[in-house]
Amino acid sequence: MIHFEWPWLLLSLPLPLLIRYLLAPTTSIENAALRVPFLDDFNLLNQEVQKNTFKRWPLWVATLAWILLIIAASRPQWWDKPIELPVNGRDLMMAVDLSGSMDTQDFRIQDKTVNRLIATKWVASQFIERRVGDRLGLILFGEQAYLQVPLTFDRQTVKILLNESAIGLAGKQTAIGDAIGLAVKRFLHKKRKEPKSWVLILLTDGANNAGSLEPIKAAELAAQEGLKIYTIGIGADKMLVRDFFGTRQVNPSNDLDEKTLTQIAEKTGGRYFRARDTNELKEIYTLLDKLEPIEKDNLFFRPTKALYHWPLGFSLFLSSIIMIFYIRGRT
């Protein structure tokens, strides 16, 4: 169907007639007299009248050009049938720990020893690529929590800014409670209260030792607002380390507070995961990747094609013909 975006402009069609009848004529033909001294002049006068009648065609062409110009100004469009676009997905925020302990090198990628943050980036980047249809956000936290990327469908930006993060960027300590509180604030800021559609994936390798908000209190607040939190505790178990004094046993995850992370997940209807190596971390993100998306209200898209250039082109063409006619008439 044809639709006019600005149909009110069609009211200006009679504008030239209003101007013609409202403005006074420039010359007066009152008291004009017809004087024909010779009989042959009647024939010449009759030919002139016929000639003037023939020359009235520019007026009709100008009228048509004006009508086409007004139609073009009204922005005619061709509307196709509306297409239904189902929207599936979640509002998913990722909170990544950048505290000093994330520099511990107890993970391996392709037979190369790397620190915990590099392993997190490697696995989480693949996870981000697979989350088609979700709005993703990124929070980086250490001594303080910062919103690095607000909720967006631009997965590439989220992945790039995650890979550009560095240890110590947000401080050396760990503020888990503040990270959760910031996530709740950002979700509420969007005013999208679809039940069970908000998810926070929080990854850390330590315990809460900074910030102004206690993790359990933050988790209770998140539960009230319908935010589900999945927590991931990252770090290897006891391992043998060789140094100058020989081989000794160390526990790189000695500071990991698994009890608090488990309580946070349970209070919000989520789940706690333990990642001791790269394979376990990949399995966790694969499991998270299988979260059932929430069916939201369907969107409708109506294909629209602009048609204004057709009447505009014809109007300009007719105007050019009139201009050529008057230029030739004066020469």
Give per-residue pLDDT as tens, 267-276: 999 999 888 8
pLDDT of residue 157: 92
Q: What CATH number is given for 88-295 in this structure?
A: 3.40.50.410
Under the phi-then-psi rule, with left for phi > 0, alpha for psi from -120 to 50, and beta for the rest, what region is 157?
alpha
Q: Is the pLDDT of residue 42 over 50?
A: no
Residue indicated by tokens 């998270």: 288
pLDDT of residue 135: 85
Q: Is the pLDDT of residue 54 over 50?
A: no
Query: Which has the higher per-residue pLDDT, 198 or 301?
Result: 198
Query: Are 91 and 190 spatial neighbours (Cβ–Cβ below 8 Å)?
Result: yes
Confidence grade of residue 63 (pLDDT, cut at 50, 70, 90): confident
pLDDT of residue 243: 54
DSSP state string for 156-212? HHHHHHHHT--TTTT-SS--HHHHHHHHHHHHHHTT---TT-EEEEEEESS---SSS
pLDDT of residue 88: 58
pLDDT of residue 20: 78
Tell me how far CA of residue 281 lies from CA of 116, 120, 123, 285, 310, in angstroms: 10, 8, 7, 6, 60
257 contact partners, CB below 8 Å, separation of at least 6 = 206, 207, 208
Query: Which has the higher per-residue pLDDT, 252 or 265?
Result: 265
Separation of alpha carbons 25 and 94, rounded Å: 76
Confidence grade of residue 201 (pLDDT, cut at 50, 70, 90): very high
Q: Please state the rounded mean pLDDT for residues 104-121.
A: 86
Confidence grade of residue 55 (pLDDT, cut at 50, 70, 90): low
pLDDT of residue 181: 93
Q: Residue 55 gets which letter from DSSP?
A: T
pLDDT of residue 108: 85
Query: Which has the higher per-residue pLDDT, 181 or 247?
Result: 181
Q: Is the pLDDT of residue 173 over 60?
A: yes
pLDDT of residue 48: 53
Q: Please state the rounded mean pLDDT for residues 240-249.
A: 52
pLDDT tens-digit readout, 203-235: 998 888 888 899 999 999 999 988 899 999 888
pLDDT of residue 178: 93
